[in-house]
Amino acid sequence: MATSRSNGIPVPAVRRLSLYLRQLESLAANSRKTVSSRQLGEALGLTDAQVRKDLAYFGQFGHPGVGYRVNELVTRVRSILGTDKTWNVLLVGAGNLGRALFCYRGFTKKGFQIVAIFDRNPAVIGTHPDPSRRIPVQPMGELDETVRRRNIRLAILAVPADHAQSVAREVLDAGVRGILNFAPVALRLDESVPVAAVDLSVHLEQLSFQLAGAPPQPKRNAVHAAARRRR
């Protein structure tokens, strides 16, 4: 079982912690006060035993006869994940994907603030990918100074595959400590550097697996199901 580098907790348990947090935040938004491990698991397709086991890695959260207190657990999980504070993040790559990520509101909502964007291409330096924010694309030469001044610890790479490795080293040399890599290539870095890779096609593969394995259904069913849902 792969374990997280810093503390020996299985990586899948840490991943599920993010899922629990999403679910808990949605319960909190609906003013739910408490939730059981069974209810939390059901919404995510997990057993109550799995939920209890996962959370036990991080502490003692349940209350006998009550279950989990939603707001309390949200606060504690955010603190465990380190998202109870705001992280300053930089982004390298001002192409289509980089600009989309720069404008993606989901990051800010979770405490990740993209405060700088860099590119190697002189043609885009100084342009504003998000007109509503006064953040121009900077040249790579300003990396060091910006990382230091804005206290940046995380970098998102949205660069072509053949640039990713050299850009990863540049951001690490500048003081960044974790990398989220959107380039479709595996980075070769020191094992101590936390790296997460995003391959968007993996998600489509999971869907095609389900469709390829499922018996064919006439289109009529989908229409009827939708009609039922609208009632």
Is 72 within 8 Å of 37 (Cβ atoms)?
no
Pick from 87, 92, 123, 162 the residue near a copy of itself by CB under 8 A: 87
Listed in sequence order, the residues at least 6 apart from 17 whose beta carbon sits closer than 8 Å to its beta carbon are 54, 58, 77, 80, 81
Report DSSP state, residue 87. E
Pick from 36, 39, 71, 83 the residue near a copy of itself by CB under 8 A: 83
Is 4 within 8 Å of 11 (Cβ atoms)?
yes
- Return the H-helix or E-strand segment holding 156: strand 154-157
Listed in sequence order, the residues at least 6 apart from 58 whose beta carbon sits closer than 8 Å to its beta carbon are 9, 17, 76, 77, 80
Is 24 within 8 Å of 30 (Cβ atoms)?
no
11 binds a copy of itself (CB under 8 A): yes
26 binds a copy of itself (CB under 8 A): yes
Q: Binding string to a copy of itself for residues 89 to 108, with x set by CB under 8 A, is what?
A: x------xx-xxx-xxxxx-
Q: Tell which positions 145-184 bind a copy of itself, by CB under 8 A.
A: 153-154, 156, 169, 172-173, 175-180, 184
Q: Tell which positions 113-152 bind a copy of itself, by CB under 8 A.
A: none
Q: Of the two residues 65 and 216, which places its CB atom closer to a copy of itself in the complex?
A: 216
Q: Of the two residues 56 and 222, which places its CB atom closer to a copy of itself in the complex?
A: 222
CA atoms within 13 A on the CB side of 102: 27
Q: Tell which positions 63-82 bind a copy of itself, by CB under 8 A.
A: 80-82
Q: Of the two residues 29 and 60, which places its CB atom closer to a copy of itself in the complex?
A: 29
- Give the helix, strand, coil percentages of the chain, each rounded to 5: 50, 15, 35
Q: In the complex, what is the shortest distance from the CB of residue 16 to a copy of itself, in angstroms, rounded to a whole number?
A: 10
Q: Tell which positions 188-207 bind a copy of itself, by CB under 8 A.
A: 188-190, 192-196, 198-207
Q: Tell which positions 39-58 bind a copy of itself, by CB under 8 A.
A: 44-47, 50
Q: In the complex, what is the shortest distance from the CB of residue 64 to a copy of itself, in angstroms, rounded to a whole number?
A: 26
**Looking at the chain, how many residues does it have?**
231
